[in-house]
Amino acid sequence: SKQGEREFETEVILMGRLHHRNLVNLVGYCTEREHRMLVYEYMSNGSLADLLSSESKEPLKWDWRVRVSQDIARGIEYLHDGAVPPVIHRDIKSANVLLDYSMRARVADFGLSKELSDDVAVSGFRGTFGYIDPQFIATKTFTEKSDVYSFGV
């Protein structure tokens, strides 16, 4: 689909220039006719969503929860304040946070992201229901605050 092509192109362009320890690294990509593939570094501990929904025997320790929250916040901070131009992710959620071999969190899935130099007002719904900033409903505009709201959810 055209939407899928745009998301693929957005992700390739952004991930080619965004480099931070709390973002998943794009290793390469391939396009062949209608087939497109992104290759990321292997994140051996899966997604935060998978971990939170698993039937774990022990509750997650508070120090680990704080560290993961800090990792995600640092990734978002880099997108908003360290990237030039700044980037709004627009789909921060636990399924888009991946855990590496040492259980460090990294923000992933940049297909819906927008550079702040772009016109960030959008005419249609983007993101995941339940994580969308309520202000977006009123203004139809994503801002850095939208990502912060989604992070809080």
Query: Alpha-carbon distance 142 to 138, whole Å?
Result: 11
Query: Alpha-carbon distance 74 to 33, whole Å?
Result: 37
Question: Which distant-in-sequence residues (6+ apart) come within 8 Å of 27 by Cβ?
Answer: 39, 40, 41
Q: Select which of 50, 81, 91, 100 is catalytic.
A: 91
DSSP class of residue 69 equals H
Q: Which of 71, 74, 79 is nearest to 105 (CA)?
A: 71
Question: Which distant-in-sequence residues (6+ apart) come within 8 Å of 63 by Cβ?
Answer: none
* Catalytic residue check, 119: no
Which residues are known catalytic residues?
A: 91
